[in-house]
Amino acid sequence: MTALPLVFDAPRRGKPPRHLADLTREEARAVVADLGQPAFRADQLARHFFRGVTDPAQMTDVPAAVRETLSEALLPGLLTPVRTLSADGGRTRKTLWRLHDGALVESVLMRYPDRATVCISSQAGCGMACPFCATGQSGLTRNLSAAEIIGQAVAASAAMANGEVPGGPGRLSNVVFMGMGEPLANYPRVRATLRALLGQAPYGLGLSQRSVTVSTVGLVPGIRKLTEEGMAVTLAVSLHAPDDELRDTLVPINTRWKVAEVVEAADDYAARTGRRYSVEYALIRDVNDQPERADLLGRLLAGKLAHVNLIPLNPTPGSPWDASPLPAQREFVARLRAAGVPTTVRDTRGQDIDGACGQLAAADLGDDAGVPTVATPAPMLEAPVPLGAEADA
């Protein structure tokens, strides 16, 4: 199904310019002091950065004579918007960003009646080689710096605060690491990003741990590291198959860490944090949607602090993959719920704007190969199996 190799070590490329969001508070204050300014200027810069202020002229609490110098030293522009597409009446906005070296990444801001969620990327491309994922089939370009990852969330936060999304000014409430890349393969920068997302002003966005989700295809060592961090963010595991034989093909990382090992690591995370983890499962017609696989998944997760988030596949032209038909979806949900496993169907957005990760970047690179992806708006399924909607996790 895929000829791409697994890639754990990102290719070495030129580092992004130094940025305040890559530094500790003490390091940032030292840089400012070296420039002959009071150390508290670093706190002022941090406050502006996390509010999404990019124009030094708007930093009116910083002396005009040094605004440009300090901004160049600690707030270089790392993310340049290439294209922004909107759907759902403007409530879904997908942005393609160009990085300093020309690499492309994507983020998606989704506004709901009770919250606003941004899906951010942690790598340019991905090295996990999942054959049904647009990003996985693009290969890995490089890891993002912490500042490049944080910058996506900051831009979304500013868009909400400035009333750029229909519904008036609001607040970014949720962040999910479900964009391009495998977050746990870029662990140090993702950890730094988490601390910034959860940190208080001026060095953070002040989000709650429950509102941040980290998704992984199953890098067991990374899950173990996250367990030891002492944070209780939501863990999402992209399983996509309950048996090793199929998962070895659908999720090649399974050749390193098998289903049982991944679930055991997730169980340990749940036990340590008290947080239920999410099992992401892309439903693919005649591949992983058989009733017997639903039963196997039900037995695997029964009694665990977990829930299943089903994602009907979003096929693209020329792809051999297709979404499971509605009867198969209903049957799959019914069997999981009969096993006592909480099950929902993801309510995703932006299908008409290449809303799933990897599609917009591929289009900008001139890729017309029709690489499929996993995100799709979930159809409304009628009784006898009413489906919930898991909007973010």
Question: Could you confirm whether 245 is annotated as catalytic?
Answer: no
Which is the catalytic residue, given 119, 148, 280, 357? 357
Quick count: other Cβ atoms within 10 Å of Cβ 384? 7
The DSSP code sequence of 118-167 is: EE--SEEE-SS--TT-TTGGG-EEEEPPHHHHHHHHHHHHHHHHTT-STT
Which is the catalytic residue, given 68, 106, 228, 382? 106
Residue 314 counted as an annotated binding residue: yes
Question: Could you confirm whether 72 is annotated as catalytic?
Answer: no
DSSP 8-state class, residue 51: T
Quick count: other Cβ atoms within 10 Å of Cβ 317? 8
What is the b/e burial string over 32-50, where b = at least 16 CB atoms within 10 angstroms of the residue's CB? beeeebeeebbbbbbebbb
CA–CA dist 39, 3 (Å, integer)? 52
Residue 125 counted as an annotated binding residue: no
Residue 211 counted as an annotated binding residue: no
> Cβ distance 78 to 151 under 8 Å?
yes
CA–CA dist 308, 238 (Å, integer)? 10
Residue 238 counted as an annotated binding residue: yes
Residue 181 counted as an annotated binding residue: yes
Residue 215 counted as an annotated binding residue: yes
What is Dmax (Cα atoms) for the chain? 70
Binding residues for [4Fe-4S] cluster, by number, are 126, 130, 133
Residues with catalytic roles = 106, 357
Binding residues for S-adenosyl-L-methionine, by number, are 181-182, 215, 238-240, 314
Binding residues, by number, are 126, 130, 133, 181-182, 215, 238-240, 314
